[in-house]
Structure 1
Amino acid sequence: MRSLRKVTPVDYERQPYRRCGRSGLLLPAVSLGLWHNFGEAKPLESQRAILHKALDLGITHFDIADRYGPPIGAAEAAFGRIFPRSLRDEAVVTTKGSNPMWDGPYGKGNSRKHLLATLDRSLARLGLDYVDIFYLHRDDEDTPLEEQVATLDHMVRTGRVLYVGVSNFSPERTAEAARLLRGLGTPLLVHQPSYSLLNRRIEESLLGVLEQEGMGCVVYSPLAQGLLTDRYLNGIPADSRAAEGRFLTPERVTPQVLAFVRALAGLASARGQTVAQLALAWALRDPRITSVLVGASSPEQLEANVAAVDRLDFTEDELATIERAAKESGVES
């Protein structure tokens, strides 16, 4: 029998795969998020090169949302144009709903009316019959949680979605959503929160809820929108995301943050890593974290980020050094 390695370009040995909670689904430790750099702002061939490099690096998990672009919907459309259909069974493709997508009362939120319509539009843009994971991108207090989860259950039962998840939900609402879905017979697979060395709020209670419920955790912004890289060690570059005010404002690049990142740079160098690789490895140190989502502006940047998996171990002294640096710099941890 021919091995999978010979019939697909995916390198499954490049990085570890982790089980998503107590489910049967495995995800790569580092996954590709299409929040940035996919859409109409960059040439399609550049996006194709990043996607192909992802497969070379063992990335089979692609995280998208209906609103990602620019313009909105463009990330899904670009993925639909460049993803090799021959590899559909080797990929975990996710998307999200809840976002404002069109004008009028049905163009946003978590009503059954909006969610089913936006899922159908996403599938059309992606050119797929189903997505592997559909997330509620955020909670909707104006829609009963029972209606929200019943809609997720319906998506699974109609074959348009294999698994369901939530993003940016509170620990309490996550536990309640998991309970309601369990009663319907559809497990809540995963939560997608923000998590990084500069944003550790999920450690307070959410990770405990996920562990208790048997859910996975796929984190976004593990590099804090680029702050946890070598890019800002000497201030704000003129062509940086912070300088342009794109998802990161100059006000966030404080002296305290810069002091912390410089301290991380010293530790990273001693470990043979970049600041970004250290930050990704740190997020993955907790076994409750299934995968970290990274964006990429080039194949080379993606390859550098995936190299974080080459050194995932931390000594007690290294972890203590990180905690001490956070405290001394005044960065909340």
Structure 2
Amino acid sequence: MPYRRCGDSGLMFPAVSLGFWHNFGHVDDLQEARRIMHRAFDRGITHFDLANNYGPPAGSAEENVGRILIEDFVCHRDELVISTKAGHLMWDGPYGDFGSRKHLLSSLDQSLKRLRVDYVDIFYSHRPDPETRLEETMSALATAVNSGKALYAGLSKYPLKRLKKAVKILKDMGIRCLVYQPPYSILNRWPDTEGILDWLLDEGIGCVVFSPLAQGMLTPKYLDGIPEGSRAARQEGFLRPEQVEAQQDKIRALGDLAAAAGMPLHHLAMQWVLRDPAVTSAIIGARTVQQLDDTLACLEAPPLDSEILAAIDAVAPGETKKEAEG
């Protein structure tokens, strides 16, 4: 596993991180989740990425990971970077989501209990709150770090203008933003087209991207439609059939490019994301150990040359997107 420095900080990340958005909730197989975590760690994945509402149901991914951590990973805690987030809907009532101090700090306390840890390495504001002053949201992140409940602060899915302001507010509070987390893939290039990746490089802020495979769309499974049992076919998932259908022509064209390059589509997609110097790590999901190993095999693929990069751009040119989904 190659490791990359997170911006100009002292923290190193594996090139590929393990995300718990799907496949680790109470609707999933706990023992397979355990095997995936063991295998990921054995393969050098030292970053586990969570959020308060991951599951389903919300909170269950943290509960299951917490159980596995306490049973199997206690002696490895200092070898792990564990992150969690708050900002999306988590509980009923007026304080269950978005960016108030009330929500973020209450959520962090709940996450620590579910994860059975004293602190997380990174605590993110999961999304910008259009109704709450940035100073309030950033003060919650500062409090999390100053209290020792988080080692670092991070931001996720903030558009560039708001991101710049948030980073400055944190700096004025004596807290440096360690990392930014956006969706980023061949099919979703908005962090690049909006200039976010270049700005992060200039500022020395790390970038850990999620959905590098566009929730599985950039894998061979969707080349011929939506197979039974896939994420798009699951009622509790976030990937909808109409999203796949809208991208079907691009998926097939990219699959042809990958085949011509002698690699599967998901390896092409991972190599494309990891080629960018601003990207510290790419978060992947896995339903099985075999799927995890298959995705990690992308690290053995050769870098993409200028000819295939140009061909990818021709199939799926970047389009500005004002607000990320997820």
State the TM bucket, normalised to the shorter chain: over 0.9
- Provide the residue aligned with 2:240 in structure 1: 249
The DSSP-based 3-state class of the residue aligned with 2:89 is: coil
> What TM-score results when the alignment is normalised by the length of structure 2?
0.92
Tell me which amino acid in the other structure corresponds to 1:79.
Answer: V
Q: How does 1:5-84 map to 2 (within 5 A)?
A: 15-83=1-69, 84=73
Deviations 1:71-100 (A, max 9, x none): 111000101111211100000000001122
* Cα root mean square deviation, aligned: 1.6
| Residue 97 of structure 2 is aligned to residue 108 of structure 1 | yes
Deviations 1:262-308 (A, max 9, x none): 23223323444211111011001001011111100001101111111
Deviations 1:16-73 (A, max 9, x none): 1111111111101110000000011122111100000101211000000001111111
Shift of 1:140: 1.1
CA contact (8 A) 1:282 1:312 kept: no
Deviations 1:112-131 (A, max 9, x none): 12211110110000000000
Q: Which has the larger radius of gyration?
A: 1
CA contact (8 A) 1:20 1:27 kept: yes
- Provide the residue aligned with 2:324 in structure 1: none
Tell me which amino acid in the other structure corresponds to 2:290.
Answer: E
Deviations 1:139-169 (A, max 9, x none): 1122211111111111111111001111111
- 5+ residue gaps, structure 1, are 1-14
CA contact (8 A) 1:223 1:279 kept: yes
Distance in 1, Cα, partners of 2:87 & 2:228: 34
- Provide the residue aligned with 1:130 in structure 2: 119
Shift of 1:332: 5.4
Q: How does 1:130-149 map to 2 (within 5 A)?
A: 130-149=119-138
Match of 2:291 among 269, 276, 301: 301
Q: How does 1:91-240 map to 2 (within 5 A)?
A: 91-204=80-193, 205-240=195-230
Aligned-pair identity in percent equals 50
**Residue 170 to residue 232, structure 1, CA distance change in 2 (3 Å):** same
Q: Which runs of 4+ in 1 moved over 3 A?
A: none
Tell me which amino acid in the other structure corresponds to 2:263.
Answer: Q
The DSSP-based 3-state class of the residue aligned with 1:253 is: helix
Tell me which amino acid in the other structure corresponds to 1:72.
Answer: A
Tell me which amino acid in the other structure corresponds to 2:185.
Answer: S
Distance in 1, Cα, partners of 2:229 & 2:29: 19
CA contact (8 A) 1:94 1:131 kept: yes
Shift of 1:206: 1.2
> What TM-score results when the alignment is normalised by the length of structure 1?
0.90
Distance in 2, Cα, partners of 1:232 & 1:98: 31
Q: Which moved more, 1:311-320 or 1:50-59?
A: 311-320
Distance in 1, Cα, partners of 2:9 & 2:156: 18
Match of 2:308 among 314, 318, 324: 318
Shift of 1:316: 1.0
Deviations 1:162-208 (A, max 9, x none): 01111111101111111111112210011111111111111122112
**Residue 219 to residue 312, structure 1, CA distance change in 2 (3 Å):** farther
